[in-house]
Structure 1
Amino acid sequence: MIRKHPVEVAIVGGGCAGITAAFELTRPEHEGKYRVTLYQLGWRLGGKGASGRGPADRIHEHGLHLWMGFYENAFRLLRECYGELKRSPATCPIADWRDAFFPDHFTGVADWSPSGRWSPWKVHLPPFEGLPGDPGNTFPKWTIADYLARSLELVRTLLVAVQVPGGRAPPGTGATSRVGSGAPEALLESMSRLLKLGQFATLAAVVEALGLMEGVLGRLRRYPENLLLQFHDTVASALRSQFERLVTGDDELRRLWEIIDLVLAVVRGTLRSGLLNDPRGFDAINDYDCREWLRLHGASEGSINSAFVRALYDLAFAYEEGDVKRPAIAAGQALRGALRAFFTYRGAFFWKMRAGMGDVVFAPFYEVLTRRGVRFEFFHRLESVRLVDPARLGVGEHPYVEALEFDVQAEVLGGGEYQPLVDVRGLPCWPAQPDYRQLVDGERLRQEGWKFESHWDRRKVRSRTLRMGEDFDLAILGVGGGAVRHVCRELVERDARWRQMVERVKSVPTQAFQIWMSAGMRELGWTEPPINISGFIEPFDTWADMSHLASEESWPRAPRSIAYFCSVLPDPPEEERDSPNFPEAQHERVRRHCVHFLNKDIVHLWPWACRVPGEFRWDLLMDPGGQPDATPLAEGEERFRSQYWTANVSPTDRYTLSLPGSLRFRVSPLDNTYDNLTVAGDWTDCGFNEGCVEAAVMSGRLAAHAISGAPRLDEIIGFDHP
């Protein structure tokens, strides 16, 4: 196909993946070769990362968003964006990426103690060298052997740090804590000698033995897997016999043992599965569920069902059809994610935002891309990706996208571009509602309650068809994964790979709520620093203290605490989803979940949040419509209606799962089956196949590479990860 200059690129979807692709294709290095138009449903960018400012400039999020310290691609592009934006700190409160994000070292998991109570396990994760997204080739290229060596180092560190009841360390654990040193052959000889002699009677000997394994993995290119496995099993057996008797009745020791037991199972499974030398890396075990794989390789039931593993599933919303009794996540991707998270983070394990994700991520990208000449077509809902008739293809000609069909939801007065941002004390932000004043018949649309982001509201002002060769040359499909079956009907019908993808790569709805309170966390009974906790009781298993955002909002009297909660939402029956009232019914369903959770469950974290058992102190909730010291606008549970909650049930809002056996069915942005189409999103095969910002950014970079050859694949951090 002959390309004209500039090449017209249509990007459908303004989430992380679509924005990333636009950013890469409009770099100065391309010298204007690509002219990008981005088509977006409704009035704002962000996809599942969208946020808006509501009453009192409250931040309304799609859910809880924390960036992890291993998000190298995401942070690298964000830092470049802020560098290009060049905001003045004199006029904008968030001028640099370090203004937008701050390190958060305190995290935890909600642990159900054998004594019959919830007991949060709180951990301070130390800062690691560097910052996420540091320029240059500073990110280490890890192998599976490197991860095993680091995992064994972690076990040794935990053993050395163990304090048994009474405050004394297990005999000798500190004396032999050095890593195995010397030539690899000498280390192997030492391992063989220890196996023959069976000298693993003390924890000190176990620590030394683990150091030998760590040294071998860190020094040899080819690994004697049989010897390593035999040595590991002997050491693990000795460790279990010595350690398990120490943990009875001691929650802290039990938790440490659960981590050690899980790591030992990971090491054993990696050796038994031959992953050290398997070119597929962790993908070789993606047909197993993570818990199934850990059990297969010796992890105890207590460890498999521990708070740590439960939190791993919770953070990935890893429950088929949203059913918490059906946890499922591909073992290889789960291990890849956990190892990346714990061993390759930079600066901090988590990074929190100082405002909404729309404010600190998508508004800066929108401003930079606008300056670069990207055109944004808001209020465009994609209806169909139409393929060329196969009968019209010449010999050897690839199939291609002939047209993109949209419903135009609203038009801008005067035919200009919609201006989406609002100013909140100097910070460009996205509003929670569109600016109807800019729209043709805007007041009528407002009064009629048009829901521009709802899959069930199909109202439009007209249809619009973009034709290949006239309106676009290349297309990037960057919609949410749950929407693919709806907008790519021809692709799904004609192409077995796409049909398998929509059948096998599944998604789930999620639910979230935010509350603003007049009491501080200490007054509620939480005496620790601000924290992020997962693994808690359903219906909301994850909580983050977001009280730092109070100063970014515009209350007459600022809240003293802000809390965000989120979790998976069980999928209703298929027949219910066809009802036009489905989103309203789900919104009300989530409200009931929130009220029940606050009445019955939050007391386990905030013991003073309930006046009597089963009754939340509803007077704590602050109403943005009320005035300080005025008579409350509502009483009791009705006060919750002034807070914010969301049922993320639209196809574009659903979270993409990483189910066992499903990852091989994902379509890659590098797939060239269709001559002028590529895909972008965390639902694609992008090298980190799990729903998160980093996966979406990696996919967007891959889509840009498929079109332009840039960035190079080795510049996409983690794409070639084992």
Structure 2
Amino acid sequence: MQNKEQNRKKIAVLGSGMSALASVYELTSYENWQDHYDITIYQMGWRLGGKTATGRGPKERIQEHGIHIAQGWYENAFRLIQDSYKECEKHNLMPNSPFKSWEDGFDREDTTLLTHFDPKTNQWIKKNIIFPSNDYIPGQGGPLPFSAIVHKALGLVIEILFGIDPNKDSLMSMASESAKDIKAPEHHSLWGDFKAKFEAFGKNALKHEGEKLLNYLAELIQNMSNMEDHDHAKRKEHHSLIKELFDLISKWVTKLINSIAEHNEYFYWLAVFVEFGLVNMKGTFEDVYNPETHELDYERINDLDYRAWLKKHGASDRLLSSAMVRFLYTGTFHNLTGADKQGSLAAGVGLHFLTNSAGYKGSFVWKFKAGTADTMITPIYLVLKNRGVNFKFFHKVEQVHYSDSGNIEKISMAEQVTLKNGTYNPTYPLKGLDVWPGEPLYDQIDDEQAKALKEGKYDIEESWCAWKNVGQISLEKGTDFDYVILGIPIDVLGGNEGICKEIIANNDAWKNMYNNVKSIPTMSMQLWIKPTLKELGMNLPDWGFPEGSLPNLVTYADPQYSFIDMSQVMPYEDWNEDEPGVLIYYTGSFLDPEIIPPFSDHNYPHEQLERIMRVSEQWLKDKMGWFFPNATTLEYPEGMKLDVIHDFSKSAKTDYARLKTQFFRANVNPTDRYTLSLPGSNKYRLKANESGFDNLIITGDWINFGVNVGYYEGAIVSGLQAGQVMRDKLGLPSETEIFSGVKMK
């Protein structure tokens, strides 16, 4: 036993966002892991989850960093969630939880709303999308193969163009007219192999040449994916035929779309959807698919902006300004980036994100039934605690010191508060859930310090906080740690007050990464509104949605361009007889001031919060009338009156005073900012095992983990990678498959 303890390595994990938690989950998922290492997580403040952390406010209202949902292609996230629920059930770690299984913690949602501003009519137009649900279960079986995704996408294009629809009478005649010049590629060397199949399409009532070609293309792609990996010559022939077919179909569709797109709103959306699908697929096979390796190499186009890449493959101005393209920029908070502040997103990252999205399982969107942390972080925390992981709350990293020894030798930390019992229990029970407070649980903190914290309203998660730490701690290699997993966001690492500024000053790779991997602040607003959606005037069937659906939207007017009905969480708040009619979350990005002040300027975050609240007030009065016509006024005919909002104070005298009782966040803290994927920046990202130090592993949405866009599925991928790098350093095997990218098979 003594030899085991002497040989056991100490791993210090800095930070507790999803990447850090995933790395620890991976490290502790192997039998007898404690024979090889022990793990301590060091976390600033009082809660876990990083940007997915949740708090509770008045009426036990759930307060988020922003909008968090799960999409049906989050394979690694769903697997982690499913496993944590299973282990909680096995060890009875959540005995009173209303969520007995992972399915209980989610609501499925198939409806999405797209909006587009039409400059010709000076009006917004909408398009409802109902994504068909399927029988796949996310997190089980791995991602759908690329061939299946393309087959699915082409099937959707075929349905849009040739499916049964009363609007399509005129479309079919125009399609036939535009298809006169279509000729099957009979000159191609592979045509003889597929001629019979192509001709068979015509016998199965596929009379239109365009429909036959689309079906033939889908079959060809399916056939290519089933080839033996070593048959490079044959695959190259298939690839060349696919490119030729895409070019042929694109010319036909361009001609068709140009003849219909301006006719009416229906044809506009039809044109956009078809062109969007075909241009992306055509570009993928021309630039991204590698017939030699049978894989998709998205890095080939990451120096280009996504819109520029679409334009290269023939995208019209109509498509480039459409909601379909804006969806990627606003959904990833890239809409205000670039020299013209109109959006800049690495093309490979955008395409990879889009391709993965098309492979959703079950439903396109899965909503957390309670807070993000209540539903996702709590079971992970309880499992890790039960496995024997140590948690050190209120420990703020001040410097990961550089050393020319090739190892990290020392870490300086601040102890933020003194705990009465030396440990901290971060959750409390509410309606059977273990939930996370919006402020520290003061009764576990030294009484005098707790009193000072409350009276001074100090937020010790905030970088500009004026609170004086109570002590200094130095962690030494060989005594306190052998290995370090760094899971703290990139904006915390550099600059005058960066925790890795010594490393950045002495290491060009770190310097390049810090200088080129950028971020942006985001804002969020949560409104508890007294009337229901129908009472507000938004009758869902009139908008093309089933009654009872909770649609989401990510393409509306700046700055709060994304919003979603999150009313499903209200039963897990504490309303008694006073429950609002609807709860809506809003989010968007905003630009930094010209100069971001040093952390000694304690007013800065409060000024930024006031800034977004004022902007949001005017935005609501200018923009929400389209959705809530029953809440408009003569003074603000395009917006909503704010007296429909629940007044938490019960004494607000003005609109702004009422609005201030809601929940807002200005995510300006270095720990809270959204990590961007700008064109040309990917090559500067380091992988989990590329820190340059033998005992330092890096993880987070800022490293090179694959898709390289800031979302918690990606953070989990990077965490799994970090865990496996750590085990590899110790000579231990890893068995967890990481679904980090889309391959052809």
The answer to whether TM tops 0.5 is: yes
After the TM superposition, which segments of 4 or more aligned residues of structure 1 sit over 6 Å from their partners? Answer: 191-194
CA spacing shift, 1:719–1:235, aligned 2, 3 Å: closer
Match of 1:272 in 2: 286
CA spacing shift, 1:100–1:313, aligned 2, 3 Å: same
CA distance in 1, matches of 2:398, 2:335: 29
Confirm whether residue 42 of structure 1 aligns to residue 45 of structure 2: yes
Aligned to 2:580, the other structure's residue is in SS state coil
Confirm whether residue 621 of structure 1 aligns to residue 637 of structure 2: no
Aligned to 1:487, the other structure's residue is in SS state coil
Question: What is the deviation of 1:227?
Answer: 3.9
Letter of the 2:42 partner, please give it: Y
CA distance in 1, matches of 2:137, 2:571: 26
Q: Choose from 688, 705, 714 the match for 1:669.
A: 688
Map residues 330-409 of structure 1 onto 2, 5 A cutoff.
330-342=346-358, 344-388=359-403, 390=404, 393=405, 399-409=406-416
CA spacing shift, 1:553–1:146, aligned 2, 3 Å: closer
Confirm whether residue 478 of structure 1 aligns to residue 487 of structure 2: yes
Question: What is the deviation of 1:464?
Answer: 0.8
Question: What is the deviation of 1:634?
Answer: 3.2
CA spacing shift, 1:378–1:193, aligned 2, 3 Å: closer
| Kept in 2: contact 1:265–1:294 (CA 8 A) | yes
CA distance in 2, matches of 1:605, 1:140: 36
For each residue in 1:355-391, what CA deviation from the matched residue of structure 2 results, as whole angstroms up to 9, or x when unmatched? 1111111122111111111111111111110132x2x
Greater Cα shift, 688-697 or 701-710: 701-710
Question: What is the deviation of 1:187?
Answer: 6.3
Match of 2:551 in 1: 531
Match of 1:111 in 2: 116
Ranges in structure 1 where 5+ consecutive residues have no aligned partner: 195-201, 394-398, 627-631
Greater Cα shift, 347-356 or 273-282: 273-282
CA distance in 2, matches of 1:4, 1:207: 70
CA spacing shift, 1:523–1:292, aligned 2, 3 Å: same
Question: What is the deviation of 1:617?
Answer: 2.0
Q: Choose from 654, 657, 665 the match for 1:635.
A: 654
| Kept in 2: contact 1:701–1:716 (CA 8 A) | yes
Map residues 273-672 of structure 1 onto 2, 5 A cutoff.
273=287, 275-277=289-291, 281-319=297-335, 325-342=341-358, 344-388=359-403, 390=404, 393=405, 399-414=406-421, 416-440=422-446, 441-457=449-465, 459-485=468-494, 486-528=498-540, 529-556=549-576, 557-576=578-597, 579-614=601-636, 616-626=640-650, 632-671=651-690
Question: What is the deviation of 1:621?
Answer: 1.2
Aligned to 1:526, the other structure's residue is in SS state coil
CA distance in 1, matches of 2:244, 2:389: 59
Question: What is the deviation of 1:513?
Answer: 0.3
Confirm whether residue 84 of structure 1 aligns to residue 87 of structure 2: yes
Aligned to 1:645, the other structure's residue is in SS state strand
Percent identical across equivalent pairs? Answer: 29
Match of 1:93 in 2: 98
CA distance in 2, matches of 1:373, 1:106: 42
Match of 1:62 in 2: 65
Ranges in structure 2 where 5+ consecutive residues have no aligned partner: 200-205, 228-234, 541-548
Aligned to 2:671, the other structure's residue is in SS state helix
Letter of the 2:106 partner, please give it: F
CA distance in 2, matches of 1:140, 1:57: 37
Question: What is the deviation of 1:169?
Answer: 6.2
For each residue in 1:540-573, what CA deviation from the matched residue of structure 2 results, as whole angstroms up to 9, or x when unmatched? 1101011122211112411110000000111211
In the alignment of these two chains, the number of paired residues is 689
| Kept in 1: contact 2:174–2:259 (CA 8 A) | no
Map residues 225-244 of structure 1 onto 2, 5 A cutoff.
225-244=239-258
| Kept in 2: contact 1:510–1:566 (CA 8 A) | yes
Match of 1:688 in 2: 707
For each residue in 1:259-301, what CA deviation from the matched residue of structure 2 results, as whole angstroms up to 9, or x when unmatched? 2112222233233326332656112111111000000110101
Match of 1:716 in 2: 738
For each residue in 1:647-705, what CA deviation from the matched residue of structure 2 results, as whole angstroms up to 9, or x when unmatched? 00010100000111111111111326311110111111112211111101011100000
| Kept in 2: contact 1:188–1:216 (CA 8 A) | no
Confirm whether residue 261 of structure 1 aligns to residue 275 of structure 2: yes
CA spacing shift, 1:426–1:231, aligned 2, 3 Å: closer
CA distance in 1, matches of 2:7, 2:423: 24
CA spacing shift, 1:105–1:691, aligned 2, 3 Å: same
Letter of the 1:362 partner, please give it: I
Q: CA RMSD in A?
A: 2.8
For each residue in 1:482-524, what CA deviation from the matched residue of structure 2 results, as whole angstroms up to 9, or x when unmatched? 2121111121111111100001110000000000011000111
| Kept in 2: contact 1:403–1:465 (CA 8 A) | yes
CA spacing shift, 1:307–1:3, aligned 2, 3 Å: farther
CA spacing shift, 1:192–1:299, aligned 2, 3 Å: farther
CA distance in 1, matches of 2:211, 2:76: 37
CA distance in 2, matches of 1:599, 1:323: 30
Question: What is the deviation of 1:49?
Answer: 0.5
CA distance in 2, matches of 1:59, 1:263: 38
CA spacing shift, 1:642–1:191, aligned 2, 3 Å: farther
When the two structures are superposed, what TM-score results if normalisation uses the length of structure 1? 0.90
Letter of the 1:551 partner, please give it: P
| Kept in 1: contact 2:88–2:94 (CA 8 A) | no
Letter of the 1:695 partner, please give it: G
Letter of the 1:455 partner, please give it: S
Greater Cα shift, 504-513 or 370-379: 370-379
